[in-house]
Structures are given as structure tokens and as C-alpha cells.
Structure 1
Amino acid sequence: MAKVEELGAAVATARRLAEDVLAPRAAAVDAERRWPAEGVAALRAELGGLVVPESCGGMGHGLLAVAQVGEATGRSCASTSLCFGMHLVASAVIAAKATGDQRSRYLKSIAAGEHLTTLALSEPGTGGEFWISRTEMTTHDDDLRLTGAKSFVTNGGHADSYVVSTVAADTEALPGQFSCVVVDRDTPGLVWGAPWQGMGMRGNASGGLTLDAAVVPRSRLLGEEGDEIWYVFNVVAPFFLMAMAGTYLGVSAAALEEARRHVLGRQYAHSGADLAANPLVQHRLGTMWARVERTRRLVYQAALEAEAGGPEALLGLCSAKAEVAETAERVINDALTLTGGIGYAQDGPLHRHLRDARAAHVMAPLTDTLRTWTGRALLGRPLLGD
């Protein structure tokens, strides 16, 4: 019961920060395409250690907390929610097999709200297969040298550390030996490219990163060499899927509320009748609510099933992000129909929600990939390959 109460307190904190800090800045973050420094700082200070083990001073929460906090923040600003969600995913990766040095150097400062981390996995030319790395890692005495390029690095240039995927390039290394390394922001050899300009999610600072023979101590290696695939499917995927599902669930809920408020406040000028009295409007709004609510229950149940190691965890996790991507798009479109020309205004919140929501389909794993993985799991086939 204590842990449930702690989770409730964490979600309440997320809702407070979303309303007080994120919401007032959301439109400007989008319009100015700026990284949401104030929102991220507020979330990091109070919830930065959400998934860090209690032994390191963190809150020790898991997937359900990530989903519920993501929903709270996604309601107010999807860009900020994505930025903080990536911090939570990377924190979970660092914590999964952390050494004593990594616990002291990273996890304790993350738990104290003093350190922002993120992922740097995706690379140019690999499409949605973000687990494939061509960034080379070679060993030099007690150091590791990293050479390669990363794309779509959320919080790029703003985070204090980056979880980077690599492939061993030493002559004696096994082919395709992928590993994960933590790279500090001040490491020589990190070169940031021009900021990515997206249709939506404009505040996530998703830039490209070149690692030009960047040298890090071997102590920054996460787990053992060759552990990257384990990290991707046991930590990165579950936490990322829940962070994104929560965020876009929040976007869906925000669009539903925009539509409800509009309907309650509108009257027909020629007759004085309330728009809320229209049976077709009532039917459409009721359908929207049911769509959001059933998706919410899928997301939360998927998180609980995965935390318990249940037999349908993979099915739930994959389906959660796929379903919420389709729900967000459908609910926002319905909200635009209900709000008419007022909702369609370019500077209105629904305009931002629609652009932000479209990204849910293209953020790897893609919606089509997740549907395929679900089918393969149901048929007892491996997710990758034949």
C-alpha cells in the first residue's frame, strides 16, 4: 500500500508541475521550437529519480509510474513530456546493471534532481531499426574510443549524459557485438549538428550527434560488451513504449477536454440552443471518451503485466503504443470536427496536438512494426528475423 501511495504522490506532483510550469509555456515551446528548459528542470528536480532504485536515493518506481507521469505531462506539453520521458528511459538503462562507480557517478545525482540523461541510439540510414549500431567502439588500454553518428537525439546538447549504442571494431571482436556506453556531455569529440526541424514535437531538441574519436573511460561501459540487445529489449523498449504511450495518452485526453469545453460553451446564435443538446454531438463525445478510456486501461494494464513478468507483457507493451498512436490521431480529428473553425485555427491547441500526435506513428518502433511484433509473438515466432 505504501508504494501505491508513493506512486499517487508522484503522479500528483507531475500533474501540479504540468499545470503550473508546462502548460503556460507549451504554446511558446512549440511556436519558437525551443527546448523546454523550465519544464524539464522542474520535472528533473522533483521527479528526476522516478525510476532510480531507492538504494541510490531514487523513488524506485517502474513502468506504471512512467506511463502515468507521461500522461500527466503529455496533457500539457508533449515536447516536454518526450524530453523527460527519454530521461526516465536512459535512467532505467543506467540503473539496470549499474556498477558501484556508475551508481555513485550517475544514479545518485539523477535521484537528487541534479543530472539529466537521455538516449543516443538511432543512426542515419538504419530506418526504424534503432537497435542496429554502426558507431564503432575500439579499446585502448583502459579507455574506449567511439566513432560514428547518431540521429534524433532528444535533449541533444542539453543533457548531462548520453546512453550511446556501439558496435565493437577491434580486430578480435565478434561480428555485430553491440554494446552501450554512457558518454558525458563535456567529452571531447562530441559534435552537434543543426537542430532537427519537425512538423510537431518541436521542442524536443532532437539533433544529430557526431562522435569524432570520443574517448571515455572503460568504466562507462554498461553491463558487459555485447549487452546492447539485452538492454534494448529488456529495458529500452519497455520503458520507451510506456513513456511514449503515456505521453500520447495525455495528448488524447487533452484533445477530448478541449472538445468538451467547446461544446459546453457554445450556443447557436439563431436559436439560442446549446450545442451540448445536440444528440449527434453527445454521441460523438461519448465515443471519444470511450476510445481514450479503453486505451488508458490497455496502457496501464500493459505496464502492470510487464512489471509482474506476465505472459502477455510483450503483447501489451507493443499494442499500447500502437493503440495510443491511433487513438490520439482519431480523437484529435474528432475534436476538430466538434470545434469547427474555432478549433481548426492555426494557433489553437488542437493544431499543436494534431502535429505532435502524428509523431507517435513514426517514432521507432513504428506502429506497423509493433503490430507485426504482436502478431509474431502470438504465432510463437521471434520478433527479429524469420
Structure 2
Amino acid sequence: MTLPTPLDDLLKLAAKTGERLAPLAADTDAGHDNGHESYRVLRESGLLALLAPREAGGAGLGFGDYWRVLAELGVHHGAAALGFNMHHVVIGALADAAGTRLPPAAEAFRAWMLDEVVNGRKLFASATSETGRGAKLRGMQTRYRLSDDGSHYLLSGRKSMVSLAGAADYYVVAAAPEGGGEDTGEASHFVVAADDPGVSFGTVPQLSAMYGTSTAPMTLDEVPVPRSRLYLGVEGMSLFKVVREPHWMIAGYTGAYLGIAEALFQHTVDHVTASPARADSPVVQQELGRMSARLRAARALVHEAGDLVTAQRGSLEANAMVHAAKYVVGEVGPQLAQDALRLCGSAAISRSHPLERLIREAQFAHVMPAKPQECLEYLGKAAVGVNLYDARAFAW
């Protein structure tokens, strides 16, 4: 199918797709399935090509509008929306470079990857996090080297938390050059196919929520990667990209957590209004008013931050705004969860009610990078005038 390009039509498609995803959330959360059916639904929807340029057959969506679509999916199935975002994290740099002339190797890479997404409906994922380091690129232990004949790279290492494990077709793996120092910042990204020799996945660990992200460890044992699958054909530029334009790495999934917060509020309202006596209570109305104010403030910040990235990608103000949005959404979700517990009582702790799952899922915003203290540190450094384009200014 060809994606529509007007935002209203894309939001309608996301809502329709979300309605198909919603019934899958409970069984996946309970561990009755691996969650891969959600990604089949997303493939069928055509939404994997949201960011692909229009001339390549995609919707050509900007960052701010992408967050709006992601939030709509997050309302229906938060974990699937997070997994869906991991696909777009690695498509984002290609989308950011739309319309920009690139060197021949980068042009060929971009054309191949966009064709895989748009025409092949291939699902991509990011493989960055490592034990003890999280998603930070500096000090990466996964290493790469060029083969003796120079025809391909060889990657070895272990990634601790890879979303879409076993569900994606390709994984964009961050690695540092073999022989580099412990604190090397010369990270590069490589596209590794799920069926490449030497690729294997562990089991999904025991979690309190988010099984639908299909997150598991990934091992790379001398995985051969053709030179054509070096991301954009350039080595050593990954840290530079993240420092200058951190929006995808540190805040791409913010829209998904906004969607979870939206769902928390709506399910709370639905529960309260089912009892007219409760709905007419001024005390209950004030509690709902507090929830509404918090949610509206978070939504407004997310929309403003996303639109600023679209308009001024890489500016210090846009970079600060996405950190602020990530922090605020990470705070508001758990606050709404506590409000829901207070207003809904046993319904909020019953496994048969969506609220119980949403309350658990809202807490995971604090786990995903950038973590709350990292967001605050970035904002504080920006306030006092630290040069945040200097990779040494922050623990990237």
C-alpha cells in the first residue's frame, strides 16, 4: 500500500492500526506470546516507511509529526510503539539527510536501505546497549576490523538489550575499531542481517513489563559485514552525529511514553464516568483536573520540542528541548499512574484491567536513555553555557 502524506490521514491510519494492536497487548504482557504478531501488523500497515522521503515512496514525515503518530500508537499498545520506534531510530539519520547530496558510497547505502524499508517492508532495529555502559557510544566494547582482503568487516561483541530481537530483519550495530583505546569515541554503525553467520540472540529476560519490545541479548561472533553495509559509508562519525543531533538516540521514543500517559488518563476517566455518583464528585473532578493539566503540559512540551527539531535540527535549543520533553514525560507518566491508583482503586491493580499494565509500563520511561538525571544535567549545562557540541562535555 502507498502511505498517505497528510498528517491527519496518517493519524487516522495509526489509530486504525492501533485498534488492531490493542487486543494483542494483554497476552504479550502476560507472556503468552512473543509479541511478534504486533510487528506483522505494523509491517502490513505500511507505517515502517513514515520517515522515508516522499520521492522514495514514504510519507516524508518530520520529527515532530512522527512523535504525534507514535503517541497515537502508544495509546493502544505501548510496548509495540516502543519497538516500532527502534526501527525509526535507525531510519532517522537517512530521513534527516533527505535532499542532501552525499558521496557515492553513502548515496548507494541510502538508496538500498530505503528500498528495503519501502518496497521490501523490512524491519530494522538498533543494537547499541552494552552491560555497564547502557547506550553510550564512548567506550563501546563491541569491536570491528577490516578483513585481510579488505572486502568486508568482522564484528565481535555482545549487546545487552536489543529490542526486536528475533523480529527484525536487520540490526544497526554500534562498534568501535579493534585496537582502539578503552575510551575511544570512534564508534561506527553497521547493518547486520538477522541471518548473518555468527549472529545469535539470548532469551528475553524476566521483566515487570514491556515484553512486547522483544528485548534480549545479542551476540556477534566474527560476523562478516559487507563494506556496503557500513552505515552511510563512513567510519567513526557516529559519536559526532549523536553529539550534534541527539534527538533520535536520546528521545525518539518520547512519543510512545506520551501515548501511554494519554491512555492512563483516558482509562481513568472511563472508569470514573462509569459511576455517575463518582463522576459528579467535586473532589474526583479536581483529581481528574490535576491529571488533565499535567498531561496537557507534557503534550504541549512534546509537540513544541518535536516541531523545533523539524525546524531547527541540531540547534542547541532544539537539543535542550528534546531533553526537557523526555524528562517531563518520564515524570508525568508515573504521576498519572499514582493518580489512577488513587481514583480507581482495585481496578488499577487488577490484571484484567488495562490500567494495571499501563501503570507498570509508565515506569519504564526512567530506564530508557536519556535517563532523568542525564536530561537534567544536559539542561543544566545548557543553562550555564557549556559547549554541548563538545563531546567531552557530556557522558555520550
Instruction: Give the TM-score taking structure 1 as reference length.
Output: 0.91
Rounded to whole Å, the distance in 1 between the matches of 2:218 and 2:67 is 28
Rounded to whole Å, the distance in 2 between the matches of 1:316 and 1:232 is 15
Partner of 2:77: 77
Q: Equivalent residues in 2 for 1:32-71 (5 A)?
A: 32=31, 34-45=33-44, 46-71=46-71
Rounded to whole Å, the distance in 2 between the matches of 1:227 and 1:382 is 19
Rounded to whole Å, the distance in 1 between the matches of 2:87 and 2:185 is 27
Rounded to whole Å, the distance in 2 between the matches of 1:226 and 1:350 is 44
Rounded to whole Å, the distance in 1 between the matches of 2:184 and 2:259 is 42
Is 2:185 aligned against 1:182?
Answer: no
Point out where structure 1 has 5 or more consecutive residues left out of the alignment. Answer: 268-273
Is 2:138 aligned against 1:139?
Answer: no
Listed one character per residue, the Cα deviations across residues 58-81 of structure 1 (whole Å, up to 9, x for unaligned) are 211121122111111111111110
Which residue identity lines up with residue 57 of structure 1 in the other structure? Answer: G
Rounded to whole Å, the distance in 2 between the matches of 1:377 and 1:90 is 26
Partner of 1:231: 241
Partner of 1:167: 176
Q: Equivalent residues in 2 for 1:199-238 (5 A)?
A: 199-223=208-232, 224-234=234-244, 237-238=246-247
Cα distance change of structure 1 residues 311 and 126 upon mapping to structure 2, 3 Å threshold: closer
Which residue identity lines up with residue 55 of structure 1 in the other structure? Answer: E
Q: Secondary structure at the match of 2:208?
A: coil
Q: Secondary structure at the match of 1:316?
A: helix
Identity, % of aligned positions = 32
Rounded to whole Å, the distance in 2 between the matches of 1:128 and 1:324 is 20
Listed one character per residue, the Cα deviations across residues 137-161 of structure 1 (whole Å, up to 9, x for unaligned) are 1011121010111121000121111
Listed one character per residue, the Cα deviations across residues 326-358 of structure 1 (whole Å, up to 9, x for unaligned) are 111101210121111222213321111111111
Rounded to whole Å, the distance in 1 between the matches of 2:52 and 2:138 is 23
Cα distance change of structure 1 residues 62 and 35 upon mapping to structure 2, 3 Å threshold: farther
Is 2:257 aligned against 1:252?
Answer: no
Q: Equivalent residues in 2 for 1:1-386 (5 A)?
A: 6-19=6-19, 21-32=20-31, 34-45=33-44, 46-95=46-95, 96=97, 99-112=106-119, 114-127=121-134, 129=136, 132-140=139-147, 141-169=150-178, 175-223=184-232, 224-234=234-244, 237-266=246-275, 274-309=277-312, 311-383=316-388, 385-386=392-393
- Structure 1 contact 256–288 (Cα < 8 Å) conserved: yes
Which residue identity lines up with residue 207 of structure 1 in the other structure? Answer: A
CA deviation after TM superposition for structure 1 residue 130, in Å = 5.1
CA deviation after TM superposition for structure 1 residue 204, in Å = 0.9
- Structure 1 contact 63–304 (Cα < 8 Å) conserved: yes
Rounded to whole Å, the distance in 2 between the matches of 1:145 and 1:288 is 51
- Structure 1 contact 35–155 (Cα < 8 Å) conserved: no
Rounded to whole Å, the distance in 1 between the matches of 2:371 and 2:126 is 17
Rounded to whole Å, the distance in 2 between the matches of 1:311 and 1:130 is 20
Rounded to whole Å, the distance in 2 between the matches of 1:372 and 1:198 is 28
Moved more, 108-117 or 365-374: 108-117
Listed one character per residue, the Cα deviations across residues 233-286 of structure 1 (whole Å, up to 9, x for unaligned) are 455x3135553211111111111111111111115xxxxxx1111111000101
Rounded to whole Å, the distance in 1 between the matches of 2:288 and 2:4 is 32
Q: Secondary structure at the match of 2:30?
A: helix
Rounded to whole Å, the distance in 2 between the matches of 1:385 and 1:171 is 17
Partner of 1:270: none
Rounded to whole Å, the distance in 2 between the matches of 1:339 and 1:294 is 23
- What is the total number of aligned residue pairs between the two structures? 375
CA deviation after TM superposition for structure 1 residue 385, in Å = 4.0
Which residue identity lines up with residue 288 of structure 1 in the other structure? Answer: M
CA deviation after TM superposition for structure 1 residue 7, in Å = 1.8
Which residue identity lines up with residue 282 of structure 1 in the other structure? Answer: Q
CA deviation after TM superposition for structure 1 residue 33, in Å = 5.9
Rounded to whole Å, the distance in 2 between the matches of 1:5 and 1:119 is 26
CA deviation after TM superposition for structure 1 residue 210, in Å = 0.9
Rounded to whole Å, the distance in 2 between the matches of 1:128 and 1:109 is 26
Cα distance change of structure 1 residues 171 and 14 upon mapping to structure 2, 3 Å threshold: closer
CA deviation after TM superposition for structure 1 residue 171, in Å = 7.7
CA deviation after TM superposition for structure 1 residue 5, in Å = 6.4
Rounded to whole Å, the distance in 1 between the matches of 2:328 and 2:191 is 32
CA RMSD of aligned residues (A): 2.3
Rounded to whole Å, the distance in 2 between the matches of 1:193 and 1:360 is 24
Cα distance change of structure 1 residues 187 and 348 upon mapping to structure 2, 3 Å threshold: same
Cα distance change of structure 1 residues 204 and 175 upon mapping to structure 2, 3 Å threshold: closer
- Structure 1 contact 302–320 (Cα < 8 Å) conserved: yes
Rounded to whole Å, the distance in 1 between the matches of 2:82 and 2:320 is 23
Moved more, 71-80 or 222-231: 222-231
Rounded to whole Å, the distance in 1 between the matches of 2:70 and 2:379 is 23
Cα distance change of structure 1 residues 149 and 286 upon mapping to structure 2, 3 Å threshold: same
